[in-house]
């Protein structure tokens, strides 16, 4: 009887084959039982398109009217600029004007005789002094200057009323709405010229007390407070003494200096 030789390799081959077969079956079972995530059922939302807004017929009409008004304003502004070039000269110097009031019944009839106005005119370089009834001369002198030059008007009594009338005369399209940088009125006496036109940038209005108090125009009012700064001051002095008050003179000279500073 032949003896059979033992081959260890055959044992390993059998074991490996069995192991391989078991692994294959296990893999198939695992795959069949593996978890599968459900498909997402979230619906995709489309980005909404902005709704188109249209103006109503009434709104369209209003828009047209507003555009027409703006065009008119621009036309007036353009015309004023052209008039500036035609109406005004090329003198590159500011215009500073001090205007005295009426000299009642001759020199010395009223205390001070408006000397304060003359003194201030002499104290300011380039300033000119006029009488209350020389409005046309003042306007002509203003028109010699370039439209961008500062204009300052200071008037007492009838002179205060006079400088207000000058400002009103220049506040027309024919005169290019000429700007007045500073208007000072000292107890104005006249025909109720107490509404300050919109071409005036700043107005200081000093009111006196005493026996002549009934003569003055009263507090000034800006026609347009967005364009004009108006300040009223009630003073203890009498009418003829107002322009001689030291603190008033200092206030006026300081405001003139401010108005002359480059923007």
CATH number at residue 155: 3.40.50
Structurally, how many domains does the chain consist of? 1
Q: Pick 12 or 57 by higher pLDDT.
A: 57
- Residue 173 covered by a domain: yes
* Confidence band, pLDDT 50/70/90 cuts, at residue 192: confident
Q: Which residues are within 8 A (CB) of 177 and not within 5 positions of it... i.e. 6 or more apart? A: 80, 170, 171, 199
User: CB–CB of 256/95 below 8 Å?
Assistant: no
Count Cβ atoms below 10 Å from residue 74 Cβ, excluding itself. Answer: 10
125: how many CB neighbours lie within 10 A of its CB?
Answer: 8
Query: Is 199 within 8 Å of 105 (Cβ atoms)?
Result: no
- 40 lies in a domain? no
Question: For residues 168 and 192, is the Cβ–Cβ distance under 8 A?
Answer: no
Q: What is the pLDDT of residue 43?
A: 57
When pLDDT is cut at 50, 70 and 90, the band that residue 104 belongs to is: low
Q: Which residues pair with 205 in a beta bridge?
A: 185, 232
Q: How far apart are CA 63 and CA 67, in angstroms?
A: 6
Tokens read off for 64:
């047209």
Average pLDDT rounded to a whole number, residues 145-169: 95
pLDDT band at 57 (very low <50, low <70, confident <90, very high): confident
Determine, yes or no, domain membership for 28: no
- Kindly state whether residue 39 falls inside one of the protein's structural domains: no
Q: For the chain, give me the number of helices (H) and strands (E)?
A: 6, 8
Q: What is the mean pLDDT of residues 180-192?
A: 91
Any domain includes 146: yes
Token reading at 172: 């027309």
pLDDT at 102: 83
Split at pLDDT 50, 70, 90, the class of 89 is: confident
SS3 (DSSP) at 88: coil
Question: Where residue 25 falls among pLDDT bands split at 50, 70, 90?
Answer: low
Higher pLDDT, 102 or 74: 102
Residues whose CB falls within 8 Å of the CB of residue 52, separated by 6 or more in sequence, listed in order: none
* Per-residue confidence band for 64, with pLDDT thresholds at 50, 70 and 90: confident
Q: Is the pLDDT of residue 157 over 60?
A: yes
53 domain-assigned:
no
pLDDT of residue 6: 46
In a domain, 119, yes or no: yes
Q: Can you tell me the mean pLDDT for 125-136?
A: 95
Pairing type for strands 128-130 and 202-207 reads: unpaired
Least trusted range by pLDDT, from 37-41, 108-112, 153-157, 253-257: 108-112
pLDDT at 97 over 80: yes
Is 83 a member of any domain?
yes
pLDDT band at 103 (very low <50, low <70, confident <90, very high): confident
Give the whole-angstrom CA distance, residue 226 versus residue 8.
114
Residues in contact with 186: Cβ distance below 8 Å, sequence separation at least 6, in sequence order: 117, 154, 155, 156, 157, 159, 160, 206, 208, 242, 243, 248
pLDDT in the model for residue 216:
72
* Buried b or exposed e, range 197-232, using 16+ CB within 10 angstroms: bbbbbbbbbbbbeeebeeebbeebebeeeeebebee
pLDDT over 50 (residue 111): no
The mean per-residue pLDDT over the stretch 191-220 comes to 85
- Name which of 100, 74, 86, 80 is nearest 171 in CA terms: 80
| Dist. CA 97–CA 248, nearest whole Å | 17
| Residue carrying the six token digits 């069949």 | 32
Structural domain harbouring 119 = 71-260
Q: Residue 218 has what pLDDT?
A: 82
Mean pLDDT calculated for residue range 213-232: 88
């Amino acid at each position: 009887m032949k003896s059979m030789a033992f081959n260890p390799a055959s044992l390993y081959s059998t074991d490996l084959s069995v192991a391989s077969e078991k692994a294959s079956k296990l893999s198939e079972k695992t795959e069949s039982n593996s978890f599968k995530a459900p498909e997402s059922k979230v619906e995709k939302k489309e980005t909404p398109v902005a709704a188109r807004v249209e103006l109503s017929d009434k709104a369209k009409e209003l828009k047209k009217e507003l555009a027409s008004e703006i065009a008119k304003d621009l036309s007036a502004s353009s015309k004023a600029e052209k008039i500036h070039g035609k109406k005004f000269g090329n003198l590159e110097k500011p215009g500073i004007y001090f205007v005295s009031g009426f000299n009642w019944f001759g020199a010395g009839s009223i205390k001070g005789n408006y000397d304060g106005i003359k003194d201030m005119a002499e104290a300011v370089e380039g300033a000119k002094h006029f009488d209350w009834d020389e409005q046309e001369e003042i306007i002509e002198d203003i028109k010699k200057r370039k439209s961008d030059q500062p204009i300052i008007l200071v008037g007492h009594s009838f002179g205060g009323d006079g400088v207000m009338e000058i400002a009103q005369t220049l506040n027309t399209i024919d005169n290019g709405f000429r700007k007045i940088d500073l208007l000072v009125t000292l107890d104005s006496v006249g025909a109720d010229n107490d509404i300050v036109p919109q071409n005036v940038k700043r107005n200081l209005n000093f009111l006196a007390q005493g026996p002549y108090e009934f003569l003055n125009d009263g507090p000034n009012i800006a026609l347009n407070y967005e364009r004009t700064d108006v300040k009223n001051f009630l003073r203890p002095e009498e009418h003829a003494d107002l322009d001689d008050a030291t603190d008033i003179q200092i206030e006026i000279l300081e405001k003139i200096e401010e108005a002359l500073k480059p923007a």
